[in-house]
Amino acid sequence: MKLMDIIINSAEKDNLITTYCFSCNIHIWPPNRYCNSCFKKTGFRKIDRKGVLLEKSFSNLPDLIGHYGVGDFSGIRLIGSVDPSILPNDRIRISQVSVKDNKLNLEFSKSKIKN
Ligand SMILES: [Zn+2]
């Protein structure tokens, strides 16, 4: 089974995972069977759904019209749809995980910060 198929199957059950190097303690995205740093075999680990928005842009591609952002989650960068009110450096979380055309479809929401 391809790595991406395993990740997609898991995402369909609302479980967001990617490959992880247990020697370097880093998530690896896009997934890879071997660590990019130490070349050891990777395993799977859950992605922390809490992150920070790095960039935001508007897409007018026919199937993807809307605001999209790049977020940093546990050191990896993922793309997801965002509400226009979310700004770079805002704390975000992955509020929805779904699969569309065999691809990950993520939605980011602003985190509520507790004082
Ligand atoms: Zn490693």
Q: Ligand 1 (ion): which residues have CB within 5 A? A: 21, 23-24, 35, 37-38
pLDDT at 68: 97
The CATH code of domain 48-115 reads 2.40.50
CB count within 10 Å of CB 57 equals: 10
Ligand 1: distance of its center to the CA of 68 in Å? 30
Res. 81 pLDDT band, cuts 50 70 90: very high
**Is the full-model pTM beyond 0.75?**
yes
Ligand 1: distance of its center to the CA of 35 in Å? 5
Q: What is the pLDDT of residues 52-76, one digit of tens each?
A: 999 999 999 988 899 999 999 989 9
Average confidence score pLDDT of the chain: 94
Ligand 1: distance of its center to the CA of 2 in Å? 20
Ligand 1: distance of its center to the CA of 108 in Å? 28
Q: What is the pLDDT of residues 88-100, one digit of tens each?
A: 999 999 999 999 8
CATH 2.40.50 in the chain, residue ranges: 48-115
Give yes or no for residue 113 having a pLDDT over 90: no
Rounded distance, CA 64 to CA 100, Å?
11
Ligand 1: distance of its center to the CA of 65 in Å? 37
DSSP string of the chain?
--HHHHHHHHHHTT--EEEEETTTTEEESS--SB-TTT-PBPEEEEPPSEEEEEEEEEE--TT--EEEEEEEETTEEEEEE--TT--TT-EEEEEEEEEETTEEEEEEEEPPPP-
Compare 51 and 113 and report the one with higher pLDDT: 51
